[in-house]
């Protein structure tokens, strides 16, 4: 694997590390800044597109503030680098905590865990400071029954 690919994959992993740890500073450092900051875009699962670094970072801050626990296991990570731009696609396998049942009796209020799965396309731009996120598009996987030969790993 090229050093470019390795660096892109490290940046990609940092996105999920930032989310898991609720690290807004790391999140801000990952996204493209400077003259093209207004051109970043982000689609959270089920959302419409957000545009511009400030709006995108605000959305992450709010989502992280409303997430008490989340862990990601990335699967089917594919990276391709073309000049100044790199594309990563991956499966986002999430483990989150469930809200505590408001009707629970004292001592019963143990929150459970829930799993979920989305897929993401993450596009990075090469900058003097390293690879920076230009766009993120994540979406729920609604079926595991894609037609033959069209599942993951059949590329």
Q: In the complex, which residues of this chain contact a second copy (CB under 8 A)?
A: 36, 38-39, 41, 43, 45-52, 55, 58-59, 62, 76, 78, 80, 82-85, 87, 89, 91, 119, 121, 123, 125, 134-135, 137-143, 146-147, 149-152, 154-155
Q: How far is the CB of 46 from a second copy (least distance, A)?
A: 3
Residue closer to a second copy by CB (options 111, 119) is: 119
Residue among 62 and 109 whose Cβ is closer to a second copy: 62
Give 44: exposed, middle or buried? Use CB within 10 Å, 0-12, 13-18, 19+: middle
In the bound complex, what is the minimum distance in angstroms from residue 6's beta carbon to a second copy?
A: 17
Q: What angle do CA 23, 136, 69 make, to 5 degrees?
A: 35
CB of 7 to a second copy, least distance (A): 17
d(CA 47, CA 50): 8
Which lies closer to a second copy via its Cβ, residue 108 or residue 148? 148
Would you say 6 or 101 has its CB closer to a second copy? Answer: 6
Question: Helix 3-21 crosses helix 53-65 at what angle (to 10 degrees)?
Answer: 50
Least distance to a second copy from the beta carbon of 58, Å?
7
Taking a C-beta distance cutoff of 8 angstroms, is the pair 42, 58 a contact? no
Instruction: Describe the strand order of the beta sheet including 50-51 as a list of residue ranges.
Output: 50-51, 41-43, 130-140, 113-127, 85-97, 70-82
């Amino acid at each position: 694997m090229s050093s470019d690919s390795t660096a892109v994959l490290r940046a990609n992993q940092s996105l999920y590390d930032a989310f898991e740890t609720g690290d807004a500073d790391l999140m801000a450092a990952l996204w493209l800044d400077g003259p093209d900051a207004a051109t970043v875009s982000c689609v959270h699962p089920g959302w419409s597109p957000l545009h511009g670094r400030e709006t995108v970072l605000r959305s992450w801050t709010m989502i992280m503030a409303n997430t008490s626990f989340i862990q990601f296991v990335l699967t089917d990570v594919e990276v391709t680098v073309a000049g100044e731009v790199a594309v990563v696609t991956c499966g986002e396998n999430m483990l989150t905590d469930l809200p505590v049942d408001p009707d629970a009796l004292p001592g019963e209020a143990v929150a459970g865990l829930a799993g979920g799965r989305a897929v993401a396309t993450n596009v990075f731009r090469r900058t003097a400071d390293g690879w920076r996120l230009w766009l993120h598009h994540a979406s729920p996987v609604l079926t595991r029954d894609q037609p033959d030969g069209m599942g993951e790993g059949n590329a």
